[in-house]
C-alpha cells in the first residue's frame, strides 16, 4: 500500500497528465539536453516509477562507478518519500530497489545490440523485465539497425524503455536523427530557461511540441509543475 501511495505521489504522474498517459508498455522514449542539466535525474524518476509498481527494472550505464547510479536512486527515493512522510523509509527503499539490476557497459565495445542480447539472456534466466533505462547514448556511434533492435525488443516484450542522449539544440531534429525518429514514441528535451530547467515534449505519439509547464525543482531535481 505504501508503494502505491508513493507511486501516486511520483513526479511522473505530472508527466503522464501532461502527455495523455505518457510512454506505454512496448514503447521507446528519449530524454535529451545539454550536458549537466538533469537527464540522469529524469531517467531515474522514470525508472523509480517502474520499481514503485513492484516491477523489475534494468538500468544500463556506461559509468564505471555504479555507485553514482545507486546515489541517484537513493536521492530520488528519499525526495519522493518526503512528500508522503514515509516511516522506516530505509527498509522500504531496500525493498523497492531490490528489483533493480544495474548493467555496466564499456563505451569502448558498446553496441545497443549487445544490450538487447543481455536483456534477452536475463529473460532466459527468469528475470521478467518491465522497464529499462539507458543513459548516455551517442547517436554518432549507433546505427538504425541498433535502434530498431531495441524498439523490436520493447514491442515484443512489452517493456517500457527510456533512453538519454546529449543534444545542444531545442528542436526535434537536434535531439534525434530524422531516420531514427520513427522508433521513438516520446522525445523530451531539457533546457535552461531563466533560473530553472524546463521539460519540453518535442514528440509524444502523433503530437509534437507540447507545452507541459513542467520543470525540474532546483533543490531536488524532481519534476514539478510551474
Using one digit for the tens of pLDDT, what is the confidence trace for 39-79? 999 999 999 999 999 999 999 988 667 888 999 999 999 88
- List, in sequence order, every residue forming a beta bridge with 19; answer none if it has no partner: none
**Domains assigned to the chain:** 2-225 (3.40.50.300)
Interacting residues of 131 by C-beta distance below 8 A, sequence separation 6+: 46, 47, 49, 50, 55, 56, 57, 58, 159, 160, 161, 162
Which secondary-structure segment (H or E) carries 107?
none
The answer to whether the beta carbons of residues 6 and 80 sit under 8 Å apart is yes
Q: How many other C-beta atoms are found inside a 10 Å radius of the C-beta of residue 55?
A: 15
Q: Is 121 exposed, middle or buried (0-12, 13-18, 19+ CB in 10 A)?
A: exposed
Q: What is the mean pLDDT of residues 86-101?
A: 84
The answer to whether the beta carbons of residues 49 and 7 sit under 8 Å apart is yes
Give Cα separations from 109 to 22, 62, 113, 114, 185 (angstroms): 33, 11, 11, 9, 28
Poorest-pLDDT segment among 29-33, 57-61, 167-171, 180-184: 167-171
∠ CA 182-145-202, nearest 5°, is 25
Quick one: which of 195, 169, 4 has its CA closest to 187?
A: 169
Using one digit for the tens of pLDDT, what is the confidence trace for 138-164? 888 889 999 999 999 999 999 999 999
Amino acid at each position: 500500500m505504501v508503494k502505491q501511495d508513493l507511486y501516486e505521489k511520483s513526479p511522473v504522474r505530472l508527466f503522464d497528465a501532461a502527455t495523455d498517459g505518457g510512454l506505454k508498455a512496448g514503447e521507446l522514449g528519449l530524454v535529451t539536453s545539454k550536458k549537466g542539466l538533469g537527464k540522469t535525474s529524469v531517467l531515474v524518476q522514470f525508472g523509480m516509477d517502474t520499481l514503485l509498481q513492484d516491477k523489475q527494472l534494468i538500468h544500463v550505464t556506461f559509468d564505471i562507478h555504479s555507485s553514482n547510479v545507486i546515489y541517484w536512486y537513493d536521492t530520488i527515493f528519499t525526495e519522493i518519500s518526503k512528500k508522503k512522510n514515509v516511516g522506516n523509509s530505509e527498509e522500504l527503499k531496500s525493498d523497492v530497489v531490490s528489483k533493480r539490476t544495474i548493467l555496466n557497459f564499456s563505451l569502448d565495445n558498446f553496441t545497443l545490440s549487445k544490450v538487447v542480447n543481455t536483456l534477452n539472456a536475463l529473460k532466459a534466466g527468469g528475470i521478467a523485465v518491465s522497464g529499462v533505462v539507458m543513459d548516455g547514448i551517442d547517436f554518432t556511434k549507433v546505427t538504425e539497425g541498433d535502434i530498431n533492435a531495441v524498439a523490436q525488443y520493447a514491442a515484443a516484450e512489452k517493456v517500457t524503455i527510456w533512453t538519454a542522449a546529449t543534444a545542444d539544440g531545442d528542436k526535434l531534429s537536434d535531439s534525434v536523427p530524422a531516420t531514427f525518429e520513427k522508433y521513438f514514441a516520446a522525445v523530451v528535451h531539457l533546457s535552461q530557461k531563466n533560473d530553472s530547467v524546463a521539460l519540453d515534449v518535442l514528440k509524444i505519439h502523433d503530437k509534437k511540441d507540447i507545452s507541459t509547464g513542467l520543470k525540474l525543482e532546483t533543490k531536488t531535481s524532481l519534476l514539478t509543475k510551474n
